[in-house]
A and B are shown apart, each in its own frame.
Chain A
Amino acid sequence: MQPEDKEVDGGLLPDSKEAIPGGQAEGSKWQRPRFSRKSLMKCCLVKWIIASTTQQGPDSSDSDLELSMVRHQPEGLEQLQARTQFTRKELQSLYRGFKNECPSGLVDEETFKTIYSQFFPQGDVTMYAHFLFNAFDMDRSGSIRFEDFVLGLSVLLRGSVTEKLRWAFNLYDINKDGYITKEEMMAIMTSIYNMMGRYTFPSVRDDSPFEHVEKFFQKMDRNRDGVVTIDEFIETCQKDENIMSSMQLFENVI
């Protein structure tokens, strides 16, 4: 295969096999192209003519077909009921809305970003939406299925405070290694400040996220090792009155 390949590659270019003793100096001389069949085939024009005259190969249509047939069916209603804390009616309502928006049953990241950006017209939500997407997409499949969606919502709306805090920790921990580093927190914070957009009062300064992160670490990082673990996080939050009381805020959303 190798010699053939070489020949193919060198079809229209100076052939490496015909190494000129002159070396580099004459390497730049234009060599007469070898009009082998392979080189002819590689010629763009010929390719184009062949491509336009022959039918589309079966491969491309197959792959197209495959994509359009991707459809995700969620688990049964009973299983979801068991796994989440929603009632049957709520699940039905949620699924109807979800299916209406995403008939294929899956939300990919782009769609997710588009949807989320509709709520924050002023700022740039792509970064934060990316983190949020990863927080929902628990099996890292690249798309959110209805189960992921509903499980996430169940935690957020019907879960205990600890569960909610765990979810928030999971959101901040970008690489899901169990530790929040300063870089991760910085990324999260920047993305949140990005959502504010340009027109704020007072204006978002360049070091506002950094300051915020510093404050966060001061509060959360007990042993000053530069990372926040889940226990530190939960412990600190439980001690904070404001955070605890605000956890109840969004319970009535659905």
Chain B
Amino acid sequence: MAAGVATWLPFARAAAVGWLPLAKKTMPKPPIDNSSRSDEILYVNVSGVRFQTWKNTLDRYPDTLLGSSEKEFFYNEDTQEYFFDRDPEMFRHILNFYRTGKLHYPRHECIQAFDEELAFYGIVPEIIGDCCMEEYRDRKKENQERLAEDTEANEAMDAPLPPHSTPRERLWRAFENPHTSTMALVFYYVTGFFIAVSVIANVVETVPCRPPKGSVKDLPCGEKYQLAFFCMDTACVLIFTFEYLMRLFAAPSRCKFMRSVMSVIDVVAIMPYYIGLVMPENEDVSGAFVTLRVFRVFRIFKFSRHSQGLRILGYTLKSCASELGFLLFSLTMAIIIFATVMFYAEKGTKGSTFTSIPASFWYTIVTMTTLGYGDMVPNTIAGKIFGSICSLSGVLVIALPVPVIVSNFSRIYHQNQRADKMRAQQKVRLARIRMAKKGTTNAFLQYKEDRALGDRDSGSGALCVKNKSTFEHQHHHLLHCLEKTTNHEFTDELNYSELCITESVGFRTSRSTSLSSQQGAPNHSTGCCPRRVRRRAAMRLANSTVSVSRGSVQELDTLHTKSTHLPPQTRSSLNAQVDLKLNCGEQDFSAAIISIPTPPANTPDDSLPPSPAVIPTGILRTTRATAYTSDTIKISSL
């Protein structure tokens, strides 16, 4: 809403008197407005910085926090001011918006922080003034790209196998992410090796070898060792065909796969061989067949699956398509113009190499790209003048779009680098969080034990209890309440697995209500838990990777929406600092992160062993005993 609207509304309403004599019907009653008419100065205290403004100023935008009655929630009766516990620097910009009607984006601020402030005060970012809008949009887009990439990368790499994945899906995953399983990795390297072999064979084939006895002429190696090369070629093509067919089989959408660039390259790489097999030994046709062999060189493009840099290059070229198109177009124009000019300039000279305009094209291209082979050289003065103009303009025309392409490439390349760096960082973070969670579980269980102890022997229990902070107390009490509510208890994984093994049907303890499928577990003991464990672990993993990648509010939302069964302790996990000391005898600790009902913990991606049959896929195998003896661990969550 524009500033003008609120300020001028009284005027517009007053001007409505002009309609009254003309009115066909009676006018409606005006809305009752009991607010005080006189303007007053309001005091707004933002984290200690006091701002003063007229009430009217704030009332200009009634759909924001400060303009509506929502600000009454923040009114402090004692000091007669509105107190906001937010960033005063940012508030300055917010208040200026009310004053001037224009919202500016401070360039030195983080875009997310700014967005959050805007969201808090109920201001829509779209009203940012033109002066700052472009900068804001650019930064926002950049930020979003960065975040999107990371989530994508996460999901792609760390997402676990969905349960009940068919062999087909598993195969596809193996092809797409080779490092998920050793088999895939082996296959990946084998195909890479064969691509290299095939390309080298193609190249070496044409190298002249010593001629066999009795002949003078040098023979290319391909003809000398025809059988050997043929065998090598066959082997490579077999591997490639096999790979292609496997990919085709595994692809979730075959049509889409067949249209994708990589598959086209695959087909083009192996087609010549088959065509060669099928074609008869005909003189005319074998000429064409030789041409087909050229396509074998496309096998080198298969390397782009293996090399990220190549993919980046390809992606860059695709994204710079318009600049490249422009470059091509302008070059073509220039070539035609200069070729024509050169042709007519050199027309008269005897023995001129500029025999026709298309022949001059070659000269123009060589000159414009500053190659200058010297096979075609102008002899007339006019030709030389125009030739020099041609080479100067060539430099200019080529130099124009190149920086754009280069900057695009560098941007994409750096984004990729960043993605790798973030992944590495995350692994470290995950490890840290794992440890913190471990600590929290133990803290809680310790609390329970102490309570149990306390029931029996108040003395020693009280001692331990005293060492925890208020926060800890309340947190544990909360968890306890939850336990009582659901009539389930928290335990750690050791106990859980024990219990799991001892009971085949109907788990009395350690079961989260989130378990939806309660059907009878299969009989063998290792089967029941792992599947359930894995499933839950999978769910937890999916949730936790979301939660641990960034400790922001948005994440909290995703966490909550994704997993409504997760009890509230995760909120405390994301907000609180974790200062963990695991021995009761030492000072307080506040372990904020607690693992959720059995089987606990994040299963970090790197600890996921490939075979699903192993029970504790990433389940922490720490015992409480070890937790007690370990030294103090200072862990900060996220």
Contacts and interface: CB of A to CB of B under 8 A. Distances in A.
Interface of A: 89-90, 92-93, 96-98, 100-101, 114-116, 118-119, 132, 135, 149, 152-153, 156-157, 164-165, 167-168, 171, 188-189, 192, 212, 216, 233, 237, 242-243, 245-247, 249-250, 252-254
Given A132-B18, A171-B18, A254 B23 contact: no
Nearest to A254: B10
B22 A189 contact: yes
B8 interface: yes
A100 B9 CA distance: 14
B59 to A, nearest CB: 10
Nearest to B54: A96
A226 to B, nearest CB: 18
Contacts of B9: 119
Given A168-B21, A250-B30, A115 B4 contact: yes
B99 interface: yes
A132 B17 CA distance: 11
A39 B1 CA distance: 56
A93 B41 CA distance: 12
B14 interface: yes
B36 to A, nearest CB: 11
Given A96-B56, A116-B12, A168 B17 contact: yes
B17 A101 contact: no
B27 A249 contact: yes
A193 to B, nearest CB: 11
A97 B15 CA distance: 17
Nearest to A100: B7
Secondary structure call for the B interface: helix
Contacts of B29: 249
A192 B14 contact: no
19 contacts: A89-B38, A96-B54, A100-B7, A100-B99, A100-B100, A118-B8, A119-B5, A119-B8, A156-B14, A156-B17, A157-B14, A168-B17, A188-B22, A189-B22, A237-B21, A243-B21, A245-B26, A252-B30, A254-B14
Contacts of A152: 14
Contact of A167 (B17, B27, B38): B17
B13 A253 contact: yes
B39 interface: yes
Contacts of B256: none
Contacts of B39: 89, 92-93, 96
A254 B101 CA distance: 21
Given A101-B4, A249-B27, A119 B20 contact: no
Contacts of B22: 188-189, 192, 212, 216
B30 A249 contact: yes
A247 B18 contact: no
Nearest to B20: A246
Interface residues of B, number: 35
A14 to B, nearest CB: 38
B375 to A, nearest CB: 43
A243 B27 CA distance: 9
Contacts, number: 95
B15 A132 contact: yes
Nearest to B25: A242
Nearest to B15: A132
Contacts of B21: 165, 168, 233, 237, 243
B19 interface: yes
B395 interface: no
A245 B25 CA distance: 12
Interface in B83-137: 99-101
With a 10 A CB-CB cut-off, give which of A115, A188, A216, A237 has the most chain B CB atoms. A115
B11 interface: yes
Interface in B605-636: none
Given A118-B5, A119-B9, A97 B56 contact: yes
A93 B56 contact: yes
B484 interface: no
Contact of A246 (B5, B12, B27): B27
A97 B11 CA distance: 11
Contacts of A114: 4
Contacts of B15: 132, 156
A250 B12 CA distance: 10
B69 to A, nearest CB: 20
> Lowest 3 CB-CB distances: which A-B pairs, in order?
A156-B14, A246-B27, A97-B7
Given A93-B38, A164-B17, 13 more contacts: A96-B39, A119-B5, A149-B11, A156-B15, A157-B14, A168-B17, A188-B22, A216-B22, A237-B21, A243-B20, A245-B26, A246-B20, A253-B14
A167 B79 CA distance: 48
Given A165-B21, A237-B21, A153 B14 contact: yes
A156 B14 CA distance: 6
B12 A101 contact: no
A89 B16 CA distance: 24
Contacts of B17: 156, 164, 167-168, 247, 250
A189 B22 CA distance: 9
Contacts of A90: 37-38
B2 interface: yes
B217 interface: no
B213 interface: no
Contacts of B101: 100
Name, among B17, B54, B99, the residue most crowded by chain A CB atoms within 10 Å (CB to CB).
B17
A245 B19 CA distance: 14
B24 interface: yes
Contacts of A233: 21
Interface in B52-70: 54, 56
A12 to B, nearest CB: 32
B3 interface: yes
Nearest to A157: B14
Contacts of B138: none
